[in-house]
């Protein structure tokens, strides 16, 4: 299940920091390369597979990942950290994975104990995932608006979810056995519905504001779900059938002094005062997510 070394990884998607390394969600390729959670040492570039199956059943195509840390724990206290990740079926519909053997779900994994469980379901396309700065709320995007199915008569369908859901986080009790007392997500509720396409990657700043990549750029909501504004990336792709294409924003990450946004074949940097909730300064070295 875990601990296997890897020389390469296929189709990485979301990522974050974990134990001084880069934790990546990789989608894999067919049955030959399973969808996996992989860590990469930024110095040696050596990679290691942490997880690549759910009790023998391959994941669909892991999309995004976030680390839940017990309040008061440090980045090296691995026993107090759980890895949460989303697993939509994009790989199958995009033609590089086999038919799904698992529902579209969200999982929590505790590497030290090997504990693995499903923590949320009921999604069409679970996508981005992030925790609030106080780790008491988990935000998960459902990108069902875009099916990614080439045989879908309506691949972009406004009647399907373009939604961010919020959950309350129940932490494991202090000193509890992680196998019998894992963290849980409860009280699912609609946090926001985007007015343009769907939310993809998602991040929080230190004030608890929520940022999500959408079809026209990055949307920003306060912690109460009120839309505060947008960072628009414009309509600069060639038109198709007379309809302009938006680059949109698939993912984003806070860096010192700004927000880096990933849009198809380009990266944009917005200089903003807000600071990422996971952005930590350690002397002259930065860890960002």
Domain ranges of the chain: 4-193
Average pLDDT, the chain: 89
CATH architecture, domain defined by 4-193: 6 Propeller (2.120)
Q: How far apart are CA 66 and CA 108, in angstroms?
A: 10
Are 185 and 223 in contact by the 8 Å Cβ rule? The answer is no
**Spatial separation of the C-alpha atoms in residues 243 and 221, rounded to whole Å:** 28
What's phi and psi for 102, nearest 5 deg? Answer: -140, 150
pLDDT tens readout for residues 149-178 = 888 889 888 999 999 999 999 998 888 888
DSSP strands (E only) in 149-249: 163-170, 184-193, 202-204, 210-214, 217-221, 227-232, 237-240, 243-245
278 within 8 A of 289, measured Cβ to Cβ = yes
Reported confidence tier of residue 147, pLDDT bands at 50, 70, 90: confident
Provide the percentage of residues in the chain whose pLDDT is more than 70: 89
Mean predicted confidence (pLDDT) in 4-22: 80
The size of the chain, in residues, is: 289
| pLDDT band at residue 72 under the 50/70/90 scheme | confident
pLDDT digits (tens, 9 = 90+) for 197-247: 999 999 999 999 999 999 999 999 999 999 999 999 865 555 555 445 666
Task: Number of helices (H) and strands (E) in the chain: give both, helices first.
Answer: 1, 24
pLDDT of residue 270: 95
Q: What is the pLDDT of residues 276-285, one digit of tens each?
A: 998 754 433 4
Nearest one of 92, 83, 36 to 59, comparing CA atoms: 36
Model-level pTM?
Answer: 0.91
């Amino acid at each position: 299940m875990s601990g296997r070394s890897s020389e390469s990884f296929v189709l990485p998607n979301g990522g974050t920091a974990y134990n001084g390394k880069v934790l990546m969600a990789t989608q894999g390729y067919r049955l030959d390369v399973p969808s996996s959670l992989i860590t990469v040492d930024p110095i040696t570039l050596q990679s290691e597979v942490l997880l690549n199956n759910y009790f023998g059943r391959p994941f669909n195509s892991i999309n995004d990942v976030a680390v839940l840390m017990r309040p008061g724990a440090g980045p090296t206290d691995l026993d107090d950290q759980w890895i949460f990740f989303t697993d939509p079926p994009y790989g199958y519909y995009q033609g590089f994975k086999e038919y799904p053997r698992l529902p579209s779900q969200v999982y929590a994994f505790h590497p030290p104990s090997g504990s693995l469980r499903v923590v949320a379901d009921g999604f069409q396309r679970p996508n981005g995932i992030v925790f609030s700065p106080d780790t008491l709320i988990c935000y998960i995007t459902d990108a069902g608006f875009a099916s990614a199915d080439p045989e879908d008569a309506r691949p972009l369908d406004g009647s399907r979810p373009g939604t961010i859901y919020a959950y309350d986080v129940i932490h494991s009790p202090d000193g509890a056995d992680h196998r019998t007392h894992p963290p849980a997500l409860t009280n699912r509720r609609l946090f926001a519905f985007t007015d343009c396409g769907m939310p993809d990657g998602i991040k929080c700043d230190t004030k608890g504001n929520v940022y999500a990549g959408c079809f026209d750029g990055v949307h920003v909501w306060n912690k109460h779900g009120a839309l505060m504004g947008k960072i628009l990336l414009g309509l600069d792709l060639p038109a198709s059938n007379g309809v302009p294409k938006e680059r949109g924003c698939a993912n984003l990450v806070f860096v010192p002094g700004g927000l880096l946004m990933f849009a198809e074949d380009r990266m944009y940097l917005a200089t903003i005062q807000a600071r990422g909730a996971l952005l930590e300064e350690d002397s002259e070295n930065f860890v960002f997510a």
